[in-house]
Structure 1
Amino acid sequence: MAKEAEPAKKAAPAAKEAEPAKKAAPTAKKAEPAKKTASTAKKAEPAKKTAATKKKAASADKRKAKAPVVEPESTPAVAEPAPVMEEPNLPRRSVAFIGSECHPFVKTGGLGDVMYALPRELARLNCDVRVILPRYACIPQEYQNKMIYRGEFYMDLGNTGRSYYVGIMEYIWDGVVYDFIDNEEFFSWGNPYTNLVDDIPKYCFFSKAALAALNYMNWIPDVVHCHDWQAALVPVYLRTLFKDSPVGRARSVITIHNLRFQGVYNIPTIKYWSGLPDEAFGMGALKQDWVEANMLKGGLAYADRITTVSGTYAWEIQTSEYGERLEDHLRYHSHKLRGIVNGIDYGMWNPETDPALAENYSLGNVLDHKMANKLALQKELGLEQDTGKFVIGLISRLTNQKGLDLVNAIVPQVLDGNTQVVVLGTGDKQYEDAFRAYEGSYKGTFSACIQYDEGRAHRIYAGADALLVPSRFEPCGLTQLNAMHYGTLPIVRETGGLKDTVEPYNEFNGEGNGFTFDRYDAGLLLDAINRAKSLYFNNRYHWDEVVQRDMAKDVSWEKSARQYKDLYLELTQW
């Protein structure tokens, strides 16, 4: 077993905190130039399989080529801007966001949007924010070229008997510092997520390296905020191996974006790669089913606060229907569980300035310009060009979770001659093939775009009259928020964040901002669609009222960011 890395004060001369100097902290020892060749290996495994010296040297050369030194005048984006503090009178807190993806560097789902937008909004609320991410090889080169080198060190990992290279590359943008953990051995894959066999070692390394990097940089946050199972070991490390290091005084928050994904593997493997003490593998922490370890379960046990991305989802995951076998664990920790709805970034999603649209519009002129976007969308997708048609959009991963089995069952009944349907997304082959078949059978009425095209997604939000989100479960959901902001009415199932953000339209008093159904049933979905069509065709004045009400609704990150800031203040009272 490798000896623990030495205290942070040896990793960086500036990092001399008033901490017990003799206590071993799992941070890192300073890398020496002569040892740079030990930075990577082909596969993370015990020391006896370490690559030959020649391969190490080649790997180091490759790393140097990957992290070019960029001249300051050619990269104004990395010059540190003036702090963005729109409300400087608020108490200041420092927060480290740790997660596996972040727009625009790498994004596979809603987590990437949250990791991008929430830190920027917190910076405006007088928070000092850093975002720590893996430096994946798939990050676009335009961002790789603008990263600046912050330092490197070596860190032991679990029971591997080896020291692993940890490089830190930095990118500063709009008041937020992005630090990328560099190690080709773990992050040279084409995609951020591959399979559990490779992902377990990768994210054990990342979680430990993120905390060690904070010690190395001598930037100790008040709060460490980690996201999903990929960063779930951060609170566990913080209270065990790092408890006597400078970063050990930080409080921890973990956010569940989707409880279905938990990082479950056998105990020996996770113990081997993590190096966590035996007490972390008790039934109240990582252990599950006596023989498996659950990384998310451990993070929930050790974190000071747990958040989910909507209030309804926070309640749902404590039930057997939605708890994904962690409902008992979550009920036990319910005293530290909060639900905070996500927002959308108005800089990215704004029909008034969106360059992807045929015609821009705002709340004041939406009724004049939305039809032009409908005609442009119909032309782009080969649909019959007719503003009198009711256009339904569906932008989603094509999986059962998203309610696609319900949609597939009712398409023939929805296409009544006055309705058009547009589907955008990729996923399970059965749904991709089914929607392609519908496109072939209903030419000019049904469009299946089996791809993900960001620009086309914007044009569907602007050109459609309604958007379907019939999810089996939905922690928060962003598509319904985007739709409302673009004046497109959501048709959703009452679950998770959909229930929290969409109020059903009431035909008697005119209140509400969308159409909903409760039980997971294709007939109820069809009924909600028919109610929307009835209002559209029979009472356009009231339909237009709801369109304007939705566009006026504040779905930005401002309110959510204030709730997170209050949570940080609650955790760090002094």
Structure 2
Amino acid sequence: MMRILHVAAEGLPFVKSGGLADVIGSLPQELAAKGNDVRVVLPLYRKIACNYHQDFNLAAQYSVSINYREIPVSVWYQQVKSVTYYFVEHQGYFERDALYGYMDDGERFAYFQKAVIEMMNQLDYFPDILHCHDWHTGMIPAMIKETHHYDDRYAHIRHVYTIHNLAYQGNFGPEMLDSCLGLPWSVYDNGNVRFDGGISFMKSGILYADKVTTVSPSYAQEILTPQYGEHLDLVLRLREYDLWGITNGIDLEEWNPKTDPCLPYHFNKVNVKRGKSENKLALQKDMGLQENKDVMMVGVVSRLTWQKGFYLVIEQLSRLCAEPIQIMILGSGEAALEEKMYQLEAGNRGKIAFYRGYNEELAHRVYAASDLFLMPSLFEPCGISQLISMRYGALPLVRETGGLKDTVQPFNEFEKTGNGFSFTNYNSDEMMTVLEYAIHLYYDKKDDWRKLVQNAMNTDVSWEHSANHYMRLYQEVSKQ
């Protein structure tokens, strides 16, 4: 049995803004099922406080130094299935309208990381593996190794750092080193945390962790290149032999079309055609789309950002609108993309529907009603949506990048293999060519389409395989 502590900025079932939350909601539970003592630490955001605080128990109260002042910390906890979740409370820092995007994010997450390090002392709980996620926790390995190395309880901890998205790095002014992080200027002078005239939480995590992981094998290779390395490719190449790519899975209990409480009609691999038709008709009625169970529905559940590739869609609006399909879009993001989606819906009433924002129940319904699921990403570290869509019999159409390339095998019409569709280059004409091929299969090669749907629903998208990889990684790093 290993003691494993995950530290992250968000996690299900408590709070979510992106795929990181899905990982924190599922991976610790899978590791606990393998007999490990697994715990998770999160900030106590307003949404968590409003929905769950009454169920929490107080674990510890203490203080940490931020801006040369002692700032109080309260840590609460709750057991969820086999995992203990801790919550670092500070109303001023965390009980805000959004999770991130504030001018003082560096200070907020410096406080969070310091609170986590002292929490281990207060609770007398020192894990074998301290697994930190993304920039919000990247300074923890540095702070422990630079300022707690004299304490054997901290010194025996092995550090794993996971990059979920290299584009978000936590870059701040160098003055934070002393005032908020309590680190010596030597780590700036020697380049360990220095980046672009300031400091980088992400760079620090990469250099100080014992092992670095990212969320798919292809993305692990891509980020070693200038094209995808976000100016950290040289740093990552220094750690190339300690860099693992492990693909994410999904929670098969939450994402199950046979039992999903969000769906008006349940289905499985046997009755998927009927189930999809019924869910499609219900969604069409509710979203103002023309009610037709036989039309191909293309689903999108995504942040509407440049990374997700939706400028390719905008380049091909006239061709898209001429195709015999319906499009259901759920998401929010860049104002320019949102405005285009509104215009698209207004000009194609009954054919295209756009829901701005995120609605969990509606997301489940879009997966269940869609025949094809569109993910034309410029880059995608792993991607969760393509795994969910396959589980619900919606064939993913993706660009071959990162985790999309690793998890979606394009249809081979001769061998009848594959579980979706893909295109290679970031090019809207390529995307449309593949989309038109998928439309042709849907309407004219129904046996091939049924075979593809069965292949997709038979794809193993669970955490079991990934958790085994993490266990091998933990065992390897424990021997160092």
Normalising by structure 2, we get a TM-score of 0.97
Q: CA contact under 8 A between 1:379 and 1:385: conserved in structure 2?
A: yes
In the other structure, the counterpart of 2:97 is 190
Q: Secondary structure at the match of 1:138?
A: helix
Q: CA contact under 8 A between 2:400 and 2:422: conserved in structure 1?
A: yes
Q: List per-residue Cα deviations over 1:355-382 (Å, max 9, x = no partner).
A: 1112101112212322111111211211
Q: Does 1:102 align with 2:8?
A: no
In the other structure, the counterpart of 2:328 is 422
Amino acid at match of 1:227: H
- Match runs of 1:87-486 below 5 Å: 92-157=1-66, 160-195=67-102, 197-245=103-151, 246-289=153-196, 291-416=197-322, 418-486=324-392
Amino acid at match of 2:296: F
Q: List per-residue Cα deviations over 1:433-460 (Å, max 9, x = no partner).
A: 1111111111111111112111111111
Q: Secondary structure at the match of 2:55?
A: coil
**Against the structure 1 CA distance between its residues 411 and 295, is the aligned structure 2 distance closer, same or farther, given a 3 Å change threshold?**
same
In the other structure, the counterpart of 2:412 is 506
Q: List per-residue Cα deviations over 1:294-329 (Å, max 9, x = no partner).
A: 111011100000000000000000101100000000
Q: Secondary structure at the match of 1:133?
A: strand
Q: List per-residue Cα deviations over 1:49-68 (Å, max 9, x = no partner).
A: xxxxxxxxxxxxxxxxxxxx
Determine what percentage of the aligned residue pairs are the same residue: 38
Larger mean CA deviation between 308-317 and 203-212 belongs to 203-212
If you compute each CA radius of gyration, which structure gives the higher value, 1 or 2? 1
Q: Which runs of 5+ in 2 are unaligned?
A: none
Q: Secondary structure at the match of 2:339?
A: helix
Q: Secondary structure at the match of 1:397?
A: strand
Aligned equivalents of 2:357, 2:97: Cα separation in 1: 19
Deviation at 1:411, TM superposition (A): 2.6
Larger mean CA deviation between 423-432 and 148-157 belongs to 148-157
Deviation at 1:354, TM superposition (A): 0.5
Aligned equivalents of 2:166, 2:127: Cα separation in 1: 27
Deviation at 1:283, TM superposition (A): 4.9
Q: CA contact under 8 A between 1:284 and 1:301: conserved in structure 2?
A: no
Q: List per-residue Cα deviations over 1:275-298 (Å, max 9, x = no partner).
A: 112232245411123x21111101
Q: Secondary structure at the match of 2:332?
A: coil
Deviation at 1:523, TM superposition (A): 0.4
Aligned equivalents of 2:240, 2:323: Cα separation in 1: 50
Aligned equivalents of 1:162, 1:379: Cα separation in 2: 58
Q: Which runs of 5+ in 1 are unaligned?
A: 1-91
Amino acid at match of 1:222: D
Q: CA contact under 8 A between 2:277 and 2:294: conserved in structure 1?
A: no
Aligned equivalents of 1:204, 1:335: Cα separation in 2: 29
The CA RMSD measured in Å over matched residues stands at 1.4
Deviation at 1:388, TM superposition (A): 2.0
Aligned equivalents of 1:352, 1:228: Cα separation in 2: 34
Amino acid at match of 2:423: F
Deviation at 1:417, TM superposition (A): 5.4
Aligned equivalents of 2:433, 2:96: Cα separation in 1: 46
Amino acid at match of 1:550: A
Larger mean CA deviation between 298-307 and 355-364 belongs to 355-364
Q: List per-residue Cα deviations over 1:2-45 (Å, max 9, x = no partner).
A: xxxxxxxxxxxxxxxxxxxxxxxxxxxxxxxxxxxxxxxxxxxx
In the other structure, the counterpart of 1:569 is 475
In the other structure, the counterpart of 1:29 is none
Q: CA contact under 8 A between 1:423 and 1:447: conserved in structure 2?
A: yes
- After TM superposition, the runs of 4+ consecutive aligned structure 1 residues lying more than 3 A away are none
Larger mean CA deviation between 386-395 and 304-313 belongs to 386-395
Q: CA contact under 8 A between 1:264 and 1:292: conserved in structure 2?
A: yes
Q: List per-residue Cα deviations over 1:61-87 (Å, max 9, x = no partner).
A: xxxxxxxxxxxxxxxxxxxxxxxxxxx
Q: CA contact under 8 A between 1:236 and 1:280: conserved in structure 2?
A: no
Amino acid at match of 1:267: P
Q: List per-residue Cα deviations over 1:460-511 (Å, max 9, x = no partner).
A: 1011110000000000000100000000000000000000000111122211
Aligned equivalents of 1:181, 1:450: Cα separation in 2: 31
Q: CA contact under 8 A between 1:215 and 1:247: conserved in structure 2?
A: no
Deviation at 1:415, TM superposition (A): 2.6
Q: CA contact under 8 A between 1:280 and 1:298: conserved in structure 2?
A: no
Aligned equivalents of 2:450, 2:203: Cα separation in 1: 46
Aligned equivalents of 1:142, 1:333: Cα separation in 2: 41
Q: List per-residue Cα deviations over 1:392-421 (Å, max 9, x = no partner).
A: 111111111111100112132123352111
**Against the structure 1 CA distance between its residues 374 and 188, is the aligned structure 2 distance closer, same or farther, given a 3 Å change threshold?**
closer
Q: Does 1:539 align with 2:445?
A: yes
In the other structure, the counterpart of 1:530 is 436
Amino acid at match of 1:107: K
**Against the structure 1 CA distance between its residues 295 and 417, is the aligned structure 2 distance closer, same or farther, given a 3 Å change threshold?**
closer
More strand by percentage: 2
Q: CA contact under 8 A between 2:78 and 2:84: conserved in structure 1?
A: yes
In the other structure, the counterpart of 1:33 is none
Q: List per-residue Cα deviations over 1:248-296 (Å, max 9, x = no partner).
A: 310000100000111112212343211112232245411123x211111
Q: CA contact under 8 A between 2:68 and 2:179: conserved in structure 1?
A: no
Q: Secondary structure at the match of 1:240?
A: helix
Q: Secondary structure at the match of 2:96?
A: coil
Amino acid at match of 2:165: N
Aligned equivalents of 1:100, 1:502: Cα separation in 2: 29
